[in-house]
Amino acid sequence: MKIPTRLVPPLYWMEQRLRGRSRVRGRYEWLAQSQWQSVEGAQTDQAESLHALIRHAYATVPYYRDVMDERGISPGELVGPESLRKLPLLTRGILAAQSNRLISATAVRNSLSVNYSSGSTGARAEFWQDDAFRQWQRALQLRTYEWCGDWRLGEPFLLLWGSEIYWSHKQTIDRVEHLLTNRREYNTFRLSPALIQRFLAVLQRWGPALISTYATAIHVLSKEAERQGLSFHIPRGIQTTSEPITPAMRETVRRVFGCPVWDKYGLRETGMVAHESPLHDGMCVQVENVYVEFLRDDGTPCVPGEIGRVVLTSLTNWAMPLIRYETNDLAAPVAGTCPSGRGFPRMTAVSGRLQDLVVTPAGDYIDAYFFSYLIMRFRQIHWFQVVQREIDRLCIRIYAPEGLDAATRRDLANRIRHHCGFAFTLDFEFLARMPESSTGKFRLCVSELAGGAVPPHMPAVHRGPWMRERVPTR
C-alpha cells in the first residue's frame, strides 16, 4: 500500500511534532534555504557557529577549559581556522579517557543517548548525543535525500541497513511512521540468498524512487539481479554510505539499476559530513553540521588536491562537543564550489573505508559492520580485524590490553556463530600492541578466499611482530 504523495508531508510533520521533534521541520526548511547562499555567507555562518561552540565548550566542558587554560588560550582568540589549530587534536584515546569530562554541564541529561563506533579502524569510540543533535541529523538527511534524483518527501523510499544500534531503537511508532511516509526498511546484517531474493522482489513489486544503503549491499544485489536477468522498476537514484563506492562497483550498480548513484560520508560521532554533489562533482561538505580540516602529518593544512588526515569539529552536538576530532580517514580538499550553485566547499571521497564481506558456505554474506557491532560491545576489546582465508574458518585478530578471559572468548565465539548462522572454526589472534599502517586505516574484514567469493581489491594483511599468540577456538 502506498499513501498518495501529496498527503505524506502534512502527516509526517504532524507525527514529528507529536513525537517531540517539532524542531526538525524548522531546521529542514532552514537547510533547504541555506544551501543556496554564497560561499562568503556560508563561511560567515560557519565561523559564527564555530566560535559560539568554542565559547560554550570553555564555559561548560571541563576538558576543554583545562586544555585552554593550560595553553594560556582565551576562547575569544579562537575565531578562525588558523587560531583553531592552537587546540590539540581529540583522538579516540582521549575520548575514551576523558569521556565524562567532555560532557557539557548544561547538557539535558534525560535527552542524552550513548553511541559508539569502531569507524573503519576497529578502535572503540564512545560518545553521547542529545535530542537537538538527532533532530539536526534528521533534517540534514532529508535535504541530502533530495539531492538524489530530486526525491521528495512522500515518494517511495527504501532503506537497506545493517546497524543493530539503529534497529535496536526501533519502536512500533516508527513502523507506523514508515507506513505513513511510503518508507520501507530492511536489515542487511546477513545478506543470505533468501534475503537477497526478498529485496529483489520488493524492488520489482514496490518500485522505490530512492534507495539508500551500504555500497557492498547494493553491489551484491546488483550482481545477483544481473545473474538472474531480472528487470524491475528503475529508481531515480541510489544513495550509498558507510563505505566508499569504487568506480567499478558504481558502474555495476548504475548499469543494473539504470539510475545515477550518489555517495554519502558520515560518522556516528559527528553525523553527516559530506554528500556527493547533485551534479556528481565532488563531495559537498555539510558546513552547517561540521567544520572539516585536511591536515598533513606535521599538522599544517593541505592545499586543494592534496590528500591529508580528515579532522572534524561537530557544530551541532553541544552536549558533548567534539572539537578537532581525529577520524583516521584520508581525503583531499577540492578547489571551488559545486557548479549547481550551492555554496559548499568540496572534498574528495574518503580513502580506505571499503570493507570486505565474509561469506558462509551457504552463500550468506556477512557485512563488516555486523562484526563491528558485535565485537565492540565487549569493552575489553580496543581493536579487531576479521580475516577469512578459508570458507569455513575465520581469524579474529584482537587487541585487548587487559586480556580476554576464556569465558568471554567462548561467549564471543558463540555469538559470532549464532548470528552468522554457521559454526565457523574461529582462530583468535591476540596482539601485544596495535598493528601499524602507513595510512592509519585498517579494514574491519579482509577476505583472502582463493578465487574470490568477494573480489579482492586491497592488499592482503601481513603479519608483523605485534602478534603475541594464536588461540584456536572450535
Architecture of domain 358-473: 2-Layer Sandwich (3.30)
Instruction: Indicate if the pLDDT at residue 167 is higher than 90.
Output: no
Are 270 and 288 within 8 A, CB to CB?
no
pTM for this predicted structure = 0.79
Amino acid at 80: G
In tens, the pLDDT along 269-326 reads 999 999 999 999 999 999 999 999 999 989 999 999 998 999 999 999 999 999 999 9
Instruction: Indicate if the pLDDT at residue 83 is higher than 50.
Output: yes
In tens, the pLDDT along 394-404 reads 999 998 888 89
Which of residues 94 and 198 earns the better pLDDT score?
94
> What is residue 122's predicted lDDT score, i.e. its pLDDT?
56
Q: Report the distance separating Cα 474 and Cα 472, nearest Å.
A: 7
Fold classification of 5-39+131-347 (topology level): Rossmann fold (3.40.50)
CB atoms within 10 A of CB 384: 27
Q: Which residues pair with 284 in a beta bridge?
A: 275, 346
The residue ranges of every structural domain in the chain are: 5-39+131-347, 358-473
Q: Determine which of 206-215, 346-355, 374-383 has the lowest per-residue pLDDT on average.
A: 346-355
Most confident of 11-25, 162-176, 435-449: 11-25
> What is residue 386's predicted lDDT score, i.e. its pLDDT?
92
> What is residue 226's predicted lDDT score, i.e. its pLDDT?
84
* Average pLDDT, rounded, for the chain: 85
Pairing of strands 425-431, 393-399: parallel
In tens, the pLDDT along 209-236 reads 999 998 878 888 888 888 888 877 789 9
Q: What's the Cα-to-Cα distance from 317 to each of 133, 136, 153, rounded to whole Å?
A: 5, 9, 26
C-alpha cell at 244: 566508499
Q: Determine which of 168-172, 405-409, 429-433 has the lowest per-residue pLDDT on average.
A: 168-172
Are 210 and 155 within 8 A, CB to CB?
yes
Cα 179 from chain centre: 26
In tens, the pLDDT along 439-459 reads 344 677 888 886 544 433 333
Are 120 and 442 within 8 A, CB to CB?
yes
Q: Which of 137, 113, 117 is nearest to 320 (CA)?
A: 113
Secondary structure (3-state) at 312: strand
Most confident of 160-164, 224-228, 235-239, 381-385: 235-239
Mean predicted confidence (pLDDT) in 127-150: 96
DSSP conformational letter for 37? S
Q: Report the distance separating Cα 129 and Cα 321, nearest Å.
A: 9
